[in-house]
Amino acid sequence: MELQTQWVEHQRDGQPMRAYLARPARVSSPLPAVLVIQEIWGPDHHIQDVARRVAMAGYTALAPDLYSRGGRPEVLAEERIDAVKAFLDTVPQQAWHDRSVLEQALAKRPPEEASRLGETLGRLFGPRDMDGFVADLRAWIAYLEASPASQGQPVASIGYCMGGALSFALATAEPRLVAAQVYYGSAPPVERMDQIRCPVYGFYGEHDPRITDPVPEVAKAMAERGKHFEYIIYPGAGHAFFNDTRSSYEVNAARRAWARSLALFARHLGGEA
């Protein structure tokens, strides 16, 4: 399928931000929309590819660059994030959040390289303005509502890792959202679940204890509040099992998860037989 892809711009509070947009090139009418929410790496080649896959299924896909509002800082430049990805592939995934292991690995690099990697690592894995990101995503929903690409059509979200957490968080803050898909992302605080109005669907890996172990309690909390939450834990899969550009990719889990995602889009965005 031929796609129309482009970077588009929008503003929140007078600050510019950008997003990657993809949709079928031969369709002129508005289409249901999917917000494709980035991992910590930003809307990189993988996230752009996911957006194109969504568009090939017949939707308008929009992948916001959550680091772009007001200008992306140098420490989060794409080439510096790519360098961090390459560095992290040299250490066990379970050590990504272990500062001592990372510092030992950084100490083996030339000082200038280690300094740059450490600075970007600190920004990527340090404190994040999740509420600010949610506000950005809500502004992008307003953009989709006004855009000829999706005007008057329903909007769902799908997010990965940090983006999975943001997809869940967006469901607590945005009544216009019709469904939220959460790939290996953490849940919002229990007290915010009362605000959820749409179904939430979880995709988790068996070997991702930091994210997956709390899921049964998340399901219990959602059920106690009368909220719709369905989840699957994929055997043999770890964190980021859907990212086919990383060593974490698990093809069997990814294949099954993507089929489920497409079925859920059809159910909530229209077009289901």
Distance between CA atoms of 191 and 161, rounded to whole angstroms?
21
- 10 assigned to active site: no
Place of tokens 């989709």: 144
User: Alpha helix locations (H) across 126-214?
Assistant: 130-146, 162-173, 209-212
Choose, from 44, 65, 136, 208, the residue flagged as catalytic. Answer: 208
22-10-158 Cα angle (round to 5) = 45
Do both 185 and 261 map to the same domain? yes
pLDDT of residue 99: 86
Longest dimension (CA), the chain: 59
Looking at residue 228, which CATH number applies to its domain? 3.40.50.1820
Do both 202 and 167 map to the same domain? yes
pLDDT of residue 273: 44
Choose, from 46, 161, 198, 268, the residue flagged as catalytic. Answer: 161
Do both 102 and 64 map to the same domain? no
- The list of the chain residues with pLDDT below 70 reads 271-273
- 208 assigned to active site: yes
**Helix 130-146 × helix 162-173 angle, to 10°:** 70
Do both 254 and 168 map to the same domain? yes
Choose, from 10, 65, 198, 239, the residue flagged as catalytic. Answer: 239
pLDDT of residue 271: 60
DSSP state of 55: H
Q: Which domain holds residue 44?
A: 3-70+130-269
Render pLDDT for 78-134 as a digit per residue (tens, 0 to 9): 999 999 999 998 888 777 888 899 999 999 999 999 999 999 999 999 999 999 999
- 239 assigned to active site: yes
The pTM score is 0.96
